[in-house]
Amino acid sequence: MKKSVIIILAVIAVIVIWAVSMYNGLVAMDEKVNGQWANVETQYQRRADLIPNLVNTVKGYASHEKETLEGVVEARSKATQMQVNANDLTPEKLEKGIYKKYSFLKDQVEVSETTNKLILPISVQETASQTIFRKDPESKKTIIKGKNSNGIEEFFSTGDMLGTVLKDVFADINIYDDDIRLLQQRFVSPIGNNAISFYKYYLMDTLMVDKRECVHLTFVPQNSQDFGFTGHLYVLKDSTYAVQKCTMNLPKKSGVNFVNRMDIVQQYEQLPNGNWVLADDDMTVDLSWSSNKTSGGLQVERTTKYSNYKFDPIEQRLFRLKGPVIKEADMLSKSDEYWASVRQVPLTRKESNMDVFVNRLEQIPGFKYIIFGAKALIENFVETGSKEHKSKVDIGPINTMISSNYIDGTRFRLSGMTTAHFDKHWFLSGYGAYGLKDEKWKYSGTLTYSFNKRDYVVWEFPKHFISATYSYDVMSPMDKFLFTDKDNIFLSMKTTTVDQMSYMRDATINYELETLTGFGVKAMLRHRNDEPTGKLEYLRNDAAQTRVHDITTSEASVTLRYAPGESFVNSKQRRVPVSLDAPIFTLTHAMGFKGVLGGEYNFNRTEASIWKRFWLPASWGKIDCSVKAGAEWNVVPFPLLILPEANLSYITQRETFSLINNMEFLNDRYASMSLSYDMNGKLFNRIPLIKNLKWREMFRIRALWGTLTDKNNPFKSSNPDLSRHATVNSPVS
């Protein structure tokens, strides 16, 4: 019994001793594991801290490098090649349809070096230029030495419209900037001031790039729906942390309209003086009207090579040339030998034979009718010339040929204008219109002399011309606020009937001058006869409320405008501003003269406005802000008072009020404010299903304050020079 107890106690003691020793061992092991994991966490933390430190270091160097280059670079050469390709091709498509019928199309197909997909080259554009820079006084100019284009754009040429559009859409990218302006949007640069909060960075590896050891960083937006890039940074692993290479891609979820894919590759090289400069800048963009990624469309490839960085003294006469862009006289007539010497990227065999390809396209039955219809649809005008004999007279706008209003009923109009192919200084435009309801002809004619030679249309920047216009037409008071033609068929559809209109007979002389600094002046002399019609009457402010048949005015006005850095896209109908970052200031004063050419009133009217676009950080969109104010200083009848900018169409017109009826308010003092916030899909891109629609959020706030002083209020003044307006068959308002 004792032996059994002793054995049991011994076993228990062994177990206890083993358990204690095991526990102590486990504790020691746990402490060792905790210590090792702490070391791991320390390494992870050091790695996590390294990324923003590295990015900040690169950012600091970028700022230094940008400042250095801007101070020393005096000249560099730039060679740009732009290829446009049809990219909706598959082996199956090549065996049927038009490709099977016309074998030369199939012969033109090649494989894209960037996407490895089948493409059909349809256009090649090349530009050779030199950029010069002077620090004191600061001046930067681009001298275009040569331009060459082949392909289908020969059928779609409106001055420099296509080139201007492509230049704006495929703008030069500088990753040193905080924000990158591209595709009419702003993207956060991967090394910008807001980059750390906008992007997530991953430290991948160290590797050799062009025989230099680099740190490889990848970056993605914190939110994939935001307007930012995904890509890679290759940063030198030395004390400079200079960027050796950068690749950027547009995330598919960002939902940029018409862009299915975009790839950017930039390569930098070191100059003998130690500065790093941009050497290669390649961009590939897939465009499509459809949101379906497989539907195809166009692929645009832009290849840009920078070379010949020079720091030698530059002839000062070059800086005295007018404008930031100077075109050499023979830029369009450079020889093949010249292009062979400056071309950095050789043309493929298919691109070299583009002329042959275009000629064979022209032989396809019905091709000219397809081009005719496409040009009319795109340009809203019909040309009367051909490829060999450029159009001297264009017919249009097409969308004004038929419309309607309360007075005309159904309205037919034929318009036309001469082009610079007719004369580079003299331009003639006008229209004739006929209303089936009132059975009256309306017309307008304008003769313009441009002091500058034009490429196609008279309103190319910078404008400098004098014009004379005579017109007779029916108008509503709100027509003058429209940014588009009042006869636009889409504007004929109104939210309510506009029955208060006038027959206007105008004789006008205009002088316009724009400077390269953004300052402009417009002077106008106008004689106008205003005859109310429809349900509009003018009543004199007397006891009998005598009906006024018409009102005649003679006036002169001057408008001063300042819009630094503004640039435009020229269409055949108008020009559209594309760079809206700078503020726009306008000041107008108009004077009326009683007794001059039948003018019935003296008046003075002053109006001023400021417009500015503000870009919000981190892809939060943009805000357009406008402030206006004006005053009519004299006693005038109500047709000469200030009307709010009413818009009764279903088409949005900038800075107009869509909920104000025609002539609902009349003022002789006013102030207005307009705020438009475009979030650019910041919210909708995060909502399932809705983001597939590619809708964009737009918030608008518009406010108006106006007053009518007693001297211009016919209900508070007995001045017979005043007038009231009345609706026919309704009481006086």
Please, which residues bridge with residue 512 across strands?
465, 522
pLDDT of 573: 80
Across 173-177, 198-202, 704-708, least confident range: 173-177
pLDDT digits (tens, 9 = 90+) for 620-631: 888 999 999 999
Least reliable range by pLDDT among 34-38, 87-91, 538-542, 678-682:
34-38
Is residue 49 predicted with pLDDT exceeding 80?
no
Q: How far apart are CA 117 and CA 330, in angstroms?
A: 37
What is the model's pLDDT at position 653? 74
HEC letters along 159-179: CCHHHHHHHHHCCCCCCCCCE
In tens, the pLDDT along 574-622 reads 887 777 778 999 999 999 999 999 999 999 999 999 999 988 876 788 8
Q: Mean pLDDT over all residues of the chain?
A: 80
For 32, the token pair is 């060792």
The DSSP call for residue 463 is P
pLDDT exceeds 80 at position 489: yes
Average pLDDT over residues 372-387: 81
Rounded to an integer, what distance in angstroms lies between the CA atom of residue 444 and that of residue 421? Answer: 22
Q: Is the pLDDT of residue 53 over 70?
A: no
Report whether 647 contacts 674 (CB < 8 A): no
Q: Which pLDDT tens digit goes with each residue over 464-479?
A: 999 999 999 999 887 7
pTM assigned to the model: 0.79
Q: Between the CA of residue 371 and those of 100, 148, 158, 173, 387, what are the distances in Å?
A: 21, 22, 14, 34, 11
Contacts of 401 (CB under 8 A, 6+ apart): 412, 413, 414, 415
Instruction: Check residue 609 and give its pLDDT.
Output: 96
Q: What is the pLDDT of residue 289?
A: 65
Between 269 and 165, the more confident residue is 269
Structure tokens at 672: 């207005």
> What is the mean predicted confidence (pLDDT) over 408-433?
95
C-alpha to C-alpha distance for 328 and 79, rounded to whole angstroms: 15
57 pLDDT band (50/70/90 cuts)? low
Confidence class of residue 159 from pLDDT cuts 50, 70 and 90?
very low
Q: Which of 375, 95, 52 is nearest to 199 (CA)?
A: 52
Confidence of residue 36 (pLDDT cuts 50, 70, 90): very low
Q: Which helix (H) or strand (E) holds 205?
A: strand 199-209
Query: Distance (Å, rounded) from C-alpha 403 to C-alpha 494?
Result: 12
**8 Å CB contact between 445 and 471:** yes
Confidence (pLDDT) at 167: 61
Where are any strands of DSSP class E within 342-423?
A: 382-383, 393-395, 402-405, 409-418
d(CA 660, CA 643): 10
- 683 class by beta-carbon count within 10 Å (0-12 exposed, 13-18 middle, 19+ buried): middle
How does pLDDT run across 186-197, given as a tens digit for each residue?
Answer: 888 888 877 888
Q: Which of 100-109, 163-172, 370-379, 394-403 has the lowest mean pLDDT?
A: 163-172
